[in-house]
Amino acid sequence: MLQTPRGGAGNGTAAADRRLMSIGTVLNELRDEFPEVTISKIRFLESEGLIEPQRTPSGYRKFSPEDVERLGHVLRMQRDHYLPLKVIREHLDALERGERPPLPSLGRQRDAGDGQDEAEGPTAARVGRDELLAAAEIDEGQLAEWETYGLVAPLPDGGYDAEAVTVASLVVELGRFGIEPRHLRAMKAAAEREAGLVDQVVAPLRRHRNPQTRAHAEARAKELAGLTGRLHSALVQMALGVRLP
């Protein structure tokens, strides 16, 4: 893969070293625009060849500003265009070669005037089972246990929605505090009730014949999901009598 300069790697200057960032710093840089990004997500994108951060002699990742910019492009293309990672990688590599490729579009998208009553929207990125295991750093036994509790579930094709990576990483983090997967069933049930409430609001829009109206339904669903998530967080904090920074 042809890479953009990685923070001046190879020139050995102290100024170049000062430009490099830890994965935690990168996370903070990205979270204003991508509040749901996680360390596991960044590691997963690295494993898929989307970025190639430098490594210290002890194995810690160090990211250049160019790496962070590329990460932003990847996350934006996933969020706004629902493109698979392979397509995103090929597109960005072409840009780095100085080409001007058009933004890829998914074959499942249809033009507004094609006469199809049940046009399908774009398909969100998928991850395979092995990819999910690697991104979350878990084993088959753990994933099987989480599936029995409904925390993650495979899609009909055997893959997983990319959001399963975020869920898995959070289950791991909670486990470090002694919160076991079986304890999270109530949270899963609450999330499903919240999703049902959102679906009641957007369902009429999703059934509309106008593709623009259906697209508006997806945007409205995302907005409502964000609001319900914030409300849930605020209610938990209020119940605990704590305030997050």
> Which residues pair with residue 126 across a beta bridge?
161
Q: What is the CA radius of gyration of the chain?
A: 20
Q: Which helix (H) or strand (E) holds 54?
A: strand 54-55
202: pLDDT strictly greater than 60: yes
The amino acid that residue 160 corresponds to is Y
Q: What is the spatial distance between Cα 62 and Cα 53, in angstroms, rounded to a whole number?
A: 6
pLDDT tens per residue across span 97-133? 888 877 765 433 333 333 333 333 333 467 788 888 8
| Nearest alpha carbon to residue 82 among 124, 121, 111 | 124
Q: What is the spatial distance between Cα 117 and Cα 33, in angstroms, rounded to a whole number?
A: 34
Q: What is the spatial distance between Cα 67 and Cα 79, in angstroms, rounded to a whole number?
A: 18
Instruction: Give backbone dihedrals phi and psi of 91, rounded to 5 degrees, phi first.
Output: -65, -45
pLDDT value of residue 70: 92
pTM of this prediction?
Answer: 0.49
pLDDT value of residue 114: 38
5: pLDDT strictly greater than 70: no
pLDDT tens per residue across span 57-112? 888 889 999 999 999 999 988 888 777 788 888 888 888 888 887 776 543 333 33
| Nearest alpha carbon to residue 25 among 52, 64, 51, 56 | 64
